A and B are shown apart, each in its own frame.
Chain A
Amino acid sequence: MQILNSGIRKTDKMENNLNPNFACETNDSGNSYCEVQVEGLNFYYGSKQALFDVNIEVKEKGVAALIGPSGCGKSTFLRVLNRMNDLIPGTRLEGRINVHGEDIYDPSTDVVELRKKVGMVFQQPNPFPKSIYENVAYGPRIHGLKNREKLDQIVEESLKGGALWDEVKDRLHDPALALSGGQQQRLCIARALAVQPRILLMDEPTSAIDPIATQRIEDLVRELCQEYTIIIVTHNMQQAARISDFTGFFLQGEMVEWGETSQIFTKPQDQRTEDYITGRFG
């Protein structure tokens, strides 16, 4: 257990050559700038515990990658952060999860507001069976935006943000399902951007698409992390090493190690991390 917290504390001391803003620190008055704080998180599907005492802090902007073998709880952890697990009956959670300093499991939390702030991109691209335009406009529309010019503007900005604008600007009203898998995934990213989130959760966003499309998404993630905090689950260790500033290693529901990506991949503190990274299991 002591590894969990020590990973975070260490970050202060380590030179952070990827993104100086990313390490979680405390300011003079002792308040942290953390985007997401997870303390003592236990999560259960019925009687089966899927997460064991997870503690991490993620600072604003940059990319945090979650790696680990199949079934270790990466998706479960991600869904805790925007309360998508609420949809699964019989789940239970202990601990505290703060987003921007507010406990998101507090009874007074507005889940709609939370999900606006914490966007999500899924493993399988899942655009709606609507036009490209309507896909992106959907979020702003359900949050009450009716003004056509404003919508047009948001759609354009979001598609640019998703690095898809140039490919679709002449066919915004074509069905989204006619796009290629990689384009669909970028559309889903654009759709998530359209509600102006602060945090983007991505659950293996490239595992269902081809290598060239994967490259584009990885580039996009690096670009987006200038403005957004991105927490990405990936099966692919090379991908985590390429795109993330911080990496967390999950094993059987435990966050075995959490630290700067360069450190995790070169000088892992835990034997299990080393075994996993050097391919001895998983």
Chain B
Amino acid sequence: MHSRTELIMKILFWASGIAIILFLVGILFTLLSNSIPALGEIGIGSFFTSGLWRPGAYGEPTYSINNFILGTFMVTVGALAFAVPMGVAAAAYLAEIASPWEREFFKPIVEVLAGIPSVVLGFIGLVVLAPLIARFFNIPSGINALNGAILVGIMALPTIITLAEDAITAVPKEYRHASLALGGTQWQTIWKVTVPAAFSGITAAAMLGMGRAIGETMTVLMVTGNMIARPESFLDSVRTLSANIAIEIGDVAFGSVHFHALFVVGLVLFIITFIVNLLADILIHRKPEVNK
């Protein structure tokens, strides 16, 4: 009787695990099979040659996604450049300094921030951030990579704060005691012992925040201007890989080369995200030379 229930549970759990693997394989298969017509027609190389993405051009359509990769890269790196330091500082504050009362107050705020729909953040980018950026840099429009980077950074913050706080909290208190007993201040203890000891967890937090940033579509689409030209700086308009798909998929003829080319863009995005998450996972599970 008992073992029977156990067996059923075991099968259910096993099946759930398998289902997840099947979803992943299914997604990859769909992307691949829909990419193949485009890859066959245009060749994989032409996606990465210099030039523009002009799938609808008369005569010779071109399919270079270099500028989109650059745009994605700029938005992501820009976002992390401020979200990681800010997130780690907030996490260190929450884990090490904040009173229980402050923690109770701050935690729900972080959760609310995580729950804001990206469209809403896009609005804020349009009506608040864009004029601010335009005025600050004295440029005609604040619809650019910087705007997208700031918003995506804000979106990545809750992930980074939550995971980094977990990592910092998990640092054994014995390390803190050792530092304090040597005459270290609380500040020195946090920055020279606790945060470094949580390094792999914090890196993982940054990577997962990055995973979130890379794929972010709606906000970015609303505030970065989506020009296909090569951006020269953060004050230029950019189009990201994900935004490109979202913009064009509605207008494209089903089954056309252009349609399948968009799947290639999706495949590239999938591979990048997959690698980032894989690295994060390795970092999370790599126990720093303890337990010896």
Contact = CB atoms under 8 A, between A and B. Distances in A.
Interface stretch (B11-19, B72-80, B183-191, B268-276): B183-191
Interface stretch (A16-24, A32-40, A91-99, A138-146): A138-146
Interface string B161-193: 000000000001011011111111100100011
Contacts of A124: 174
Interface in A150-204: 175, 177-178, 188, 191-192, 195
Given A126-B174, A175-B289, A142 B188 contact: yes
B171 to A, nearest CB: 9
B292 interface: yes
B182 A177 contact: no
A115 B178 contact: no
A138 B185 contact: no
Contact of A138 (B177, B179, B290): B179
A222 to B, nearest CB: 23
B197 interface: yes
B167 to A, nearest CB: 13
B290 A142 contact: no
A142 B192 contact: yes
B182 A115 contact: yes
A129 B292 contact: no
A116 B179 contact: no
A177 B288 CA distance: 10
Contacts of B175: 126, 128-129
A126 B181 CA distance: 12
Chain B: interface residue count, which band? 20 to 34
Given A112-B185, A128-B197, A84 B180 contact: yes
A200 to B, nearest CB: 11
Interface residues of A, number: 30
B176 to A, nearest CB: 8
Nearest to B174: A126
A122 interface: yes
A116 B289 contact: no
A87 interface: yes
B180 A178 contact: no
A113 B183 contact: yes
Secondary structure call for the A interface? helix
A126 B182 contact: no
Contacts of B188: 142
Interface in B79-96: none
B183 A122 contact: no
A119 interface: yes
Interface in B187-233: 188, 192-193, 196-197
Given A129-B290, A178-B289, A178-B292, A139 B177 contact: no
A120 interface: yes
A116 B180 CA distance: 10
A69 to B, nearest CB: 24
Contacts of B180: 84, 87, 115
A115 B289 contact: no
Nearest to A192: B182
Interface string A108-144: 0001111110011010101111100000001101110
A42 interface: no
Contacts of A195: 182-183
A244 interface: no
A261 interface: no
A157 B9 CA distance: 61
A229 interface: no
Contacts of B183: 111-116, 139, 142-143, 195
Interface string A201-242: 000000000000000000000000000000000000000000
A273 interface: no
A155 to B, nearest CB: 14
A175 to B, nearest CB: 5
A213 to B, nearest CB: 16
Contacts of B185: 112, 142
Most chain A beta carbons < 10 A, residue from B177, B181, B196, B197: B181
Contacts of B193: 128, 138
A257 B174 CA distance: 31
B124 to A, nearest CB: 40
Interface of A: 82, 84, 87, 111-116, 119-120, 122, 124, 126-130, 138-139, 141-143, 175, 177-178, 188, 191-192, 195
28 contacts: A84-B177, A112-B184, A112-B185, A113-B183, A114-B183, A116-B182, A126-B172, A126-B175, A126-B177, A128-B175, A128-B179, A128-B193, A129-B175, A129-B197, A129-B289, A129-B290, A130-B196, A138-B179, A139-B184, A142-B183, A142-B188, A143-B183, A177-B289, A177-B290, A178-B292, A188-B178, A191-B182, A192-B181
Question: Closest 8 CB pairs between A and B?
Answer: A126-B174, A120-B181, A115-B183, A116-B183, A139-B182, A112-B183, A175-B289, A142-B188
Given A129-B197, A130-B196, 6 more contacts: A112-B184, A115-B180, A129-B290, A139-B182, A178-B289, A195-B182
